[in-house]
Amino acid sequence: MYDFGSSVNSLRVLFPPSLGLPKANARAELVEHSLAVALARPVQVRVATDYEDLVRRACAAEAEVVWAPAGVCARVAPVARCVFQVVRQGLTSYRSAIVVPAQSKITIDRLWSARSLRAAWVDPHSLGGYALAIELLRRRGVDPSNVFSEQRFMGSHPEALAAVTDGRADIAAVTAWSGDARAVRAALAMHVGPLETRLAVLAVTDEAPTDALVLTRSIDDDGVALVESLLDFEDRPAKRRSMLPSAMGAERFVDAGIEPYLSLQRRMMASVAPRSAR
């Protein structure tokens, strides 16, 4: 059986807060119990306070397994040993949907001329909740510093969308698995329920790689093999499966390595470079 090491009493798993802390903490508790049963070992599942905290704790060797949003993966590359990309609805990519209040007269074609809009984003390192949206806006000639009088980071998708539905913000962004209208509406409903009818979709961005399960250098060969066996959950007896894949909404995982996320990081950096430098 795998020994998690003399300095570590349990397998340490770190979740992002992007679902909202109450939901993320509830999932973490369920996953912690199911992993402990499946592995027959102590397990600790914790939720980072924000994306920056997740990066800091991963790089400080405070977790062996990290559920890393796509915008975070490249930042934990120095400590990444294995990277298993999530597959959802048969896809290893996703998009961001930019939303406004349903009654808003804002259009994506005229957004560049708007002023004093209030934006509610998820996190500076959230692709679906911020970075992809900003990339699209800049490509369309929108200067965020001119258009937005306020840009707040709400910490989760539900909080960012709630700011729009209750009138505290004029625009937000949310992860969407495809550009299909029904898929986007389903993504909105997942976070705010029936209040999704108060939101209109302004635009849908280009694709980016999905989030990943990152095994850090704190885990040894036996530990990697043990966690990998959990990811092949279809071949395991039901009573020996963990809730980790379902908590992540994963149909399966693919061993993608870190390069797709380093490429994404370069793309995001290019999108914010001064035009004269491109």
How far CA 273 is from CA of 105, 138, 233, in Å, comes to 30, 11, 43
Q: Are strands 212-216 and 65-68 parallel, antiparallel or unpaired?
A: antiparallel
List strand residue ranges (DSSP E) for 127-197, in order. Answer: 148-153, 171-176
Alpha carbon distance 52, 16 (integer Å): 10
Q: Which of these three, 165, 185, 208, is where a domain ends?
A: 208
- 173 & 251 share domain: no
Q: What percent of the chain has pLDDT over 90?
A: 75
In a domain, 277, yes or no: no
Domain that holds residue 37: 11-89+210-267
Arithmetic mean of pLDDT over the chain: 90
**Strands, E assignment, the chain:** 11-15, 43-47, 65-68, 80-87, 93-101, 117-121, 148-153, 171-176, 199-204, 208-209, 212-216, 252-255
Q: Do both 175 and 189 map to the same domain?
A: yes
Q: Looking at residue 226, which CATH number applies to its domain?
A: 3.40.190.10
Residue 160 near residue 172 (C-beta atoms within 8 A): yes
Q: Is 244 found in the same domain as 194?
A: no
Q: How far apart are CA 29 and CA 244, in angstroms?
A: 11
List beta partners, residue 65: 13, 215
Question: For 149-169, what is the mean pLDDT?
Answer: 96
In a domain, 276, yes or no: no
Measured in degrees and rounded to the nearest 5, phi and psi for residue 155 equal 95, -20
Give the tens place of pLDDT for each residue, 112-138: 999 999 999 999 999 999 999 999 999
Contacts of 145 (CB under 8 A, 6+ apart): none
pLDDT tens readout for residues 8-57: 458 999 999 988 888 899 999 999 999 998 888 899 999 999 999 999 99
Domain termination site, one of 190, 208, 226: 208
Confidence class for position 162, pLDDT limits 50, 70, 90: very high
Kindly tell me if the per-residue pLDDT of 273 is higher than 70.
no
pLDDT at 4 > cutoff 60: no
Angle between helices 259-272 and 132-139 (to 10 degrees): 40
CA distance 251 to 148: 38
With cut-offs at 50, 70 and 90, classify the pLDDT of residue 278. Answer: very low
Domain identity same for 222 and 238: yes
Q: Give me the mean pLDDT over the 92-108 stretch.
A: 95
Confidence of residue 58 (pLDDT cuts 50, 70, 90): very high
pTM score, two decimals?
A: 0.85
